[in-house]
Amino acid sequence: MNILACIKQVPDMAGHFEPNEAGTWFDETGLTWRMNEYDTFAVEQAVRLKEQLGGEAEVTVVSVGPARVVETIRKALAMGCDEGMHIDDAEAPERDPWQIASMIAGFAAGRGFDLVFTGMQSEDRSSAQVGVLVAERLGIACVTGITAFEWQDGEITVEREIEGGRICSIRLKSPALLTCQQGLNSPRYPNLPSIMKAKRKKLTVMQPAEVGLEEPKVSSEKFRPHERKSAGVILEGSPAELAVQVLDILETKTAVLGKGGAR
C-alpha cells in the first residue's frame, strides 16, 4: 500500500502576531514553528496503518513551504514516515488553498497513492479547503473531519461527528483522501533513535513549477489585528459589592434585565 501524509508548518499560536509591511499576512519575525496540530493526527494514522500492514505499506510525507519546512518534515519522518517530499516555495505562506492543493495534487498524480491523510484544517488560515481540493483534483473519494479509522481487507470504515453530537459511520474503498480531526488518535513523540534515523531517510526537493503551481483564485487584501471598540471595566470589592456593581451595569447600560428590574 502506498500512503501519503500531507503536513503544514505553522507558527506557534502562543506567539505575538503583527501584520507584515504589506498588510497581507503576519510578520514572521520572532515566531517559532511547528507541525500543524491536525496534521499530527494525519501522520500518526498513516504510520499506524503502515504498522498494521507490516512490510506491505510505505508512507510518504509532503509539505509545501520555505526552507524552514524541512525541520517539520524531519519530525514526520521521525514519527515513522519513510520518505519526505519538500515542495520548496518561499511564497507558500501567502498562497491560497487552490494553489497549495494544485501543488500537492500535481505531486501525487500518477504516483499510485491508495490513501491520502491530511489535517482537517490548518491552525493559521483554518480554511479547511486544501484536503477536499486535493481529492477533487485527483478524482478520488473524500471524507472530512474523521474521528475514527479502520482498515479491514481493503475496506475503509471511518467515523465523523455531525450536527447535534451525532456520529456518522462511513464505508469506502481506496483510493481515498481523509482529513483528520482531534480525537482520532494520540500522536506519538519521536524518541532519540527515531530522530537520528530520520536524518538518514530520503528527502526530495521539488520546485512549484515542477508540480504544477496554478494562479490563485483568491487573494489576501488586508490583515490586521482585532480592533477593540471599548476598554474593559475592572470591578473591585467584596463578592457582595461586586454583585451590586454588576447588577447596576446590567440595569443601566444593557437591556438584559429590561425595564423594572428589581434588586
The CATH number covering residue 49 comes to 3.40.50.620
Full pLDDT tens readout for the chain, 263 residues: 999 999 999 999 888 888 888 778 888 888 899 999 999 999 999 999 999 998 789 999 999 999 999 999 999 999 999 999 999 999 998 899 999 999 999 999 999 999 999 999 999 889 999 999 999 999 999 999 999 999 998 899 999 998 888 999 999 999 999 999 999 999 999 999 999 999 999 999 999 999 999 998 888 788 777 777 777 788 899 999 999 999 888 888 776 666 554 44
CB 1 within 8 A of CB 175: no
Task: Clarify whether residues 38 and 117 are in a common domain.
Answer: yes
CB 175 within 8 A of CB 140: yes
Q: Model pTM? A: 0.83
Number of residues that make up the chain: 263
The reported pLDDT for the residue numbered 256 is 65
Strand order in the sheet with 203-206: 167-173, 155-161, 141-152, 176-180, 115-119, 2-7, 58-65, 83-88, 203-206
Does 236 reside within a domain? yes
CB 169 within 8 A of CB 159: yes
Split into its structural domains, the chain has a count of 2
Q: Tell me the C-alpha distance between 223 and 148, whole Å.
A: 36
Task: Clarify whether residues 90 and 129 are in a common domain.
Answer: yes
Does 261 reside within a domain? yes
Does 225 reside within a domain? no
The reported pLDDT for the residue numbered 160 is 94
Task: Clarify whether residues 196 and 110 are in a common domain.
Answer: yes
Query: At which residue does the C-alpha cell 507558500 appear?
Result: 92
Task: Clarify whether residues 138 and 192 are in a common domain.
Answer: yes
Q: Provide the residue range defining the domain that includes 261.
A: 230-263
Does 221 reside within a domain? no
Task: Clarify whether residues 59 and 166 are in a common domain.
Answer: yes
| Beta-carbon contacts of residue 209 (< 8 Å; ≥ 6 apart) | none
Task: Clarify whether residues 68 and 155 are in a common domain.
Answer: yes
Strands (E), the chain: 2-7, 9-11, 33-35, 58-65, 83-88, 115-119, 141-152, 155-161, 167-173, 176-180, 203-206
Task: Clarify whether residues 236 and 171 are in a common domain.
Answer: no
Q: Tell me the C-alpha distance between 91 and 122, whole Å.
A: 17
Task: Clarify whether residues 170 and 121 are in a common domain.
Answer: yes
Task: Clarify whether residues 172 and 95 are in a common domain.
Answer: yes
Does 217 reside within a domain? no
